[in-house]
Amino acid sequence: MPAVTGHGHDGAQDHGQGHHGHDHGDPSAMRPVAEHAAAVAALLAPMPAETVPLAAARGRVLADDLVSPHALPPFANSAMDGYAVRSADLAGAPAELPVAADIPAGRTDGPPLAPGTAHRIMTGAAMPDGADAVVQVEWTDAGTEQVRVDRAVGAGQNVRGAGEDVTPGQVVLTAGTLLGPAQIGLAAAVGAGTLAVRRRPRVLVLSTGSELVAPGEPLRHGQIHESNGPMLTAAVDDAGARGELLRFVPDDVEQFTRTLDEALAARSDDPVDLVLTSGGVSAGAYEVVKDAFSGRGVTFSKVAMQPGMPQGVGHHRGPAGDVAVVTLPGNPVSSLVSFEVFVRPVLRRVLGHPQPERPRVRARVAEALTSPAGRRQFRRGRIDAVAGTVAPVGAAGSHLLAALAHADCLFVVDEDVTRVEAGESVEVWLLDG
Amino acid sequence: MPAVTGHGHDGAQDHGQGHHGHDHGDPSAMRPVAEHAAAVAALLAPMPAETVPLAAARGRVLADDLVSPHALPPFANSAMDGYAVRSADLAGAPAELPVAADIPAGRTDGPPLAPGTAHRIMTGAAMPDGADAVVQVEWTDAGTEQVRVDRAVGAGQNVRGAGEDVTPGQVVLTAGTLLGPAQIGLAAAVGAGTLAVRRRPRVLVLSTGSELVAPGEPLRHGQIHESNGPMLTAAVDDAGARGELLRFVPDDVEQFTRTLDEALAARSDDPVDLVLTSGGVSAGAYEVVKDAFSGRGVTFSKVAMQPGMPQGVGHHRGPAGDVAVVTLPGNPVSSLVSFEVFVRPVLRRVLGHPQPERPRVRARVAEALTSPAGRRQFRRGRIDAVAGTVAPVGAAGSHLLAALAHADCLFVVDEDVTRVEAGESVEVWLLDG
């Protein structure tokens, strides 16, 4: 059992937000982080595909390879404003050619080019049959009836060939692509008015605690403002899923279960994929989440980590059917760290992200630090990418939310490490990446 | 004048999407990139603040410092489930103490602790007056009438002091903070039900070209699918602003102006901050954007860059009032690169981001490449952060949208550099950061 050294330190980190918990125990009896992570990962299957308009696709993940039905460009076209010509006609340039047609971009009925003539052509306009090059207007007198061309051009010059960018049937974006501006531009260019993307998992966020008061409401002595609900809902949305905050309820098992079941039933048309709770999972006398779910499909464990020891995973089997459940500890720092370790990668994986994890780098710690034996420690930090260093923000087992809000990374101290010297290298998870 | 080497190369990059343009000229007569960027930056003032509910604040930028009106924790509370005691009473532990009260979290009327007694207390519950420490339940027999305590505790042990995290009046988040899950959690914890954030600029995106067909519609010969509109709208949203795509119009000045003025008038309750056009800005015979805006408040220039030479900036003075205008070239690659260089940093700056620019790093180019004299070249690339190298994707002046969609960075070749050898260092802008 790690020594409890006083408030705000090792023993104190899995409580907070006024929730109940114990953060001590025999590490050898604890569940390894990887084992709990696997149990959470097993809860959710990859999301099915749904079709959305292109304008709604930003930030979504492509469910199927996108195949272009046509070439891009779809037809040979001019790369310049100028004159479509047969290059052979200009072999003896300078030369004069009659201008037989005018081809603005978008003209769909451009006539073929007769030998010894030119067509005035704009950038992007289809090359007329018979032409093999474009002379840019700057090399001419810009005539509209007759044009004087000063220089010869080679075959193919200033012509974009059909299919130079994309060939018909080409896979232009693969399943798992995150759709940003450039990908949406490419999808539009190959004519996709809609895209098949993975459905965003729906996550119901519920926090518990009789001491909780909604932000914006006044506090009485003994009460605190509820922060986990808004925080975890934002974290769910940030991961690309759909978070919905269900108003927190007091520490009452019957009220908790009824509220949850009513909420699930009310959403049966667009069912909830995951219930995410915080608090009420520890060893205190009033542990509403644990009492509501224990022995009914949810397994509660002490996980060998710091912070975030009390964790639960399983299914709630209610009147509205089975729903996956992950229970996070009540302390806000523990809760968000646990979300990062267990929940976010799973949400992103079922969304189809090829890289569900946060970007990971290695950096040297700026100061020596300690970690409990047998537990994986997740420290909050600020990285200096230029120096290649990471500085801890807040104490190891800290419940300090202000420090968390100023961190830009987590870093990991492995289970078998109890002390890291300044300058030693650690794995860093970049939260802004 | 740089040599035109053929289709798809140097001379061809500012056209495309079927739009019109010239990408050649005397670099010494061109507008420097920095000068055009300054003109775009001068268009928009910092956005005013607006108040939004906490649940709508994710991804927004805080407009004012957030001050906590109270301490966090607001009161001294227990960090453990256990027994609140006077540490002096346990000096001779083991000891037996009568349990005089039960203090669950959220109890607002906990009585003071009489000497020689204990109160059963849950994590997060307010410490009773007179108590100075908590004994965790594991060090006791967990009695409810009488408790046997096995070990002594020091004063302050397992107690979180009021204000340990935040003191009253403390600035917990500064103006300019991007609000993610942790920041929203902290704001909630200090009781903020709403937050003052910068209003998101409203951007109307308009592309032009008679050859354009909406994605999802069939193409006739000479037509292409409109890609800039969806792409730029997504890019605006990605920057944190509000993009709205106005259906593109044919190359007709009167129709263009009427469509724009009607759209601006229809939005006068929530006015448009910026009109962003693509295409129609070059030297061809049909340049609707240039013809509509020239001499009426918008300045068109050749900017010394590749791609993206034809640029415009200014104001449209229509019946609905003045509105800022930026005109981008029509080629999708030029258009998105121009957006990155000129528009995105300005949108983020007026949104209050302390770091409006993309993250910039240096990396060694994987292969030798050339760049036109006197123009700043923006290449699309893929970075290998581990190796510290960047590989170009697509040719320098490429109109290839497929290549753009597979790039994860831009990199910069300065105006006075015409050749970069493999292994030389360049500035890289990370697009995924």
Tell me the pLDDT tens digit for each residue of A340-391.
999 999 999 999 998 899 999 999 999 999 999 999 999 999 999 889 999 9
CATH of residue A171's domain is: 3.90.105.10
A233, pLDDT greater than 70: yes
The residue among A350, A378, A413 that closes a domain is A350
Residue A121 tokens read as 């052509």
Q: According to the model, what pLDDT value does residue A397 have?
A: 60
A12, pLDDT greater than 60: no
Q: According to the model, what pLDDT value does residue A396 have?
A: 67
Residue A261 and residue A313 in one domain: yes
Q: Is the CB of B21 less than 8 angstroms away from the CB of A219?
A: no
For an interface test with B, the pick among A54, A108, A123, A276 (most B C-beta atoms closer than 10 Å) comes out as: A123
Condensed to tens digits (0 to 9), the pLDDT of residues B193-226 reads: 999 999 999 999 998 888 889 999 999 999 999 9
- List the domain range (segments joined by +) for residue A100: 77-152
B13, pLDDT greater than 50: no
B74, pLDDT greater than 70: yes
CATH of residue A126's domain is: 2.170.190.11
Using a CB–CB cutoff of 8 Å, tell me whether B4 touches chain A: yes
Element (H, E) at A321: strand A321-328
Residue A269 and residue A394 in one domain: no
Q: Is residue B3 part of a domain?
A: no
The residue among B350, B378, B408 that closes a domain is B350
A13, pLDDT greater than 70: no
Q: What is the mean pLDDT of residues A381-410?
A: 88
B12, pLDDT greater than 60: no
Q: Which residues of B touch A160 (CB under 8 A)?
A: 7-8, 12, 16, 399
Q: According to the model, what pLDDT value does residue B78 have?
A: 93
Q: Is the CB of B8 less than 8 angstroms away from the CB of A160?
A: yes
Q: Is residue B300 part of a domain?
A: yes
The 3-class secondary structure across chain B, one letter per residue, is CCCCCCCCCHHHCCCECCECCCCCCCHHHCECHHHHHHHHHCCCCCCCEEEEEHHHCCCCEECCCEECCCCECCCCEECCCEEEECHHHHCCCCEEEEEEEEECCCCCCCCCCCCCCEEEECCCCECCCCCCEEEEHHHECCCCCEEEECCCCCCCCCEECCCCCECCCCEEECCCCECCHHHHHHHHHCCCCEEEEECCCEEEEEEECCCEECCCCCCCCCCEECCHHHHHHHHHHHCCCEEEEEEEECCCHHHHHHHHHHHHHHCCCCCCCEEEEECCCCCCCCCHHHHHHECCCEEEEEECEECCCEEEEEEEEECCEEEEEEEECCCHHHHHHHHHHHHHHHHHHHCCCCCCCCCEEEEEECCCEECCCCCEEEEEEEEECCCCEEEECCCCCCCCHHHHHCCCEEEEECCCCCEECCCCEEEEEECCC
Q: According to the model, what pLDDT value does residue A288 have?
A: 86
B233, pLDDT greater than 90: yes
Residue A301 and residue A315 in one domain: yes
Q: What is the mean pLDDT of residues B363-386?
A: 94
Q: According to the model, what pLDDT value does residue B385 have?
A: 83
Residue A189 and residue A64 in one domain: yes
Query: How far apart are the C-alpha atoms of A129 and A127, rounded to whole Å?
Result: 6
How much is the mean pLDDT over chain A?
90
Q: Is residue B165 part of a domain?
A: no
Query: How far apart are the C-alpha atoms of A165 and B240, rounded to whole Å?
Result: 30
Q: Is residue A158 part of a domain?
A: no
- Of residues A82 and B399, more confidence is placed in A82
When pLDDT is cut at 50, 70 and 90, the band that residue A161 belongs to is: very high
Tell me if A105 sits within 8 A of B209, measured CB to CB. yes
User: What pTM did the predictor assign?
Assistant: 0.89
First to last CA, chain A: 36
When pLDDT is cut at 50, 70 and 90, the band that residue A407 belongs to is: very high
B263, pLDDT greater than 50: yes
Residue A346 and residue A367 in one domain: no
B15, pLDDT greater than 50: no
Residue A210 and residue A334 in one domain: yes
Q: Phi and psi dihedrals of A214, rounded to 5?
A: -65, 140
A398, pLDDT greater than 70: no
B45, pLDDT greater than 70: yes
Percent of chain A with pLDDT over 90: 77
Condensed to tens digits (0 to 9), the pLDDT of residues A127-140 reads: 999 999 999 999 99
When pLDDT is cut at 50, 70 and 90, the band that residue B4 belongs to is: very low
When pLDDT is cut at 50, 70 and 90, the band that residue B287 belongs to is: confident
Q: What is the mean pLDDT of residues A219-246?
A: 95
CATH of residue B384's domain is: 2.40.340.10
Percent of chain A with pLDDT over 70: 92
Q: Is residue A1 part of a domain?
A: no
Residue A84 and residue A116 in one domain: yes
Residue A274 and residue A388 in one domain: no
Q: Is the CB of B404 less than 8 angstroms away from the CB of A185?
A: yes
Name the B residues in 321-340 with CB < 8 Å from any A CB. 330, 332, 336, 339
Q: Is the CB of A136 less than 8 angstroms away from the CB of B22?
A: yes
How much is the mean pLDDT over chain B?
90
- Range of weakest confidence among A302-306, B68-72, B133-137, B288-292: B288-292
Q: According to the model, what pLDDT value does residue B126 have?
A: 94
Q: According to the model, what pLDDT value does residue B288 have?
A: 86
Condensed to tens digits (0 to 9), the pLDDT of residues B84-128 reads: 999 999 999 999 999 999 998 888 888 999 999 999 999 889 999
Q: According to the model, what pLDDT value does residue B19 have?
A: 38
- Of residues B15 and A394, more confidence is placed in A394
Q: According to the model, what pLDDT value does residue B283 have?
A: 59
Using a CB–CB cutoff of 8 Å, tell me whether A229 touches chain B: yes
| Interface predicted TM-score (ipTM) | 0.89
When pLDDT is cut at 50, 70 and 90, the band that residue A11 belongs to is: very low
Q: According to the model, what pLDDT value does residue B16 have?
A: 38
- Range of weakest confidence among A404-418, B180-194, B279-293, B347-361: B279-293
When pLDDT is cut at 50, 70 and 90, the band that residue A82 belongs to is: very high
Using a CB–CB cutoff of 8 Å, tell me whether B28 touches chain A: no
Residue A346 and residue A209 in one domain: yes
CATH of residue B324's domain is: 3.40.980.10
Q: Is the CB of B75 less than 8 angstroms away from the CB of A221?
A: yes
Q: What is the mean pLDDT of residues B326-331?
A: 93
Q: Which residues of B touch A215 (CB under 8 A)?
A: 54, 187-189, 191-193
Q: According to the model, what pLDDT value does residue B28 have?
A: 80
**Which member of B74, B184, B405 has the closest CB to residue A219?**
B74
Name the A residues in 41-80 with CB < 8 Å from any B CB. 54-55, 58, 70, 72-75, 77-80
Q: According to the model, what pLDDT value does residue B23 have?
A: 44
A335, pLDDT greater than 90: yes
Residue B189 tokens read as 């914890």
The residue among A130, A152, A174 that closes a domain is A152
Residue B42 and residue B57 in one domain: no
Residue B222 and residue B342 in one domain: yes
Q: Is residue B355 part of a domain?
A: no
Tell me if A396 sits within 8 A of A370, measured CB to CB. yes
Q: Is residue A136 part of a domain?
A: yes
- How many folded domains does chain A comprise? 4
Residue B186 and residue B259 in one domain: no
Q: What is the mean pLDDT of residues A1-13?
A: 32
Q: Is residue A222 part of a domain?
A: yes
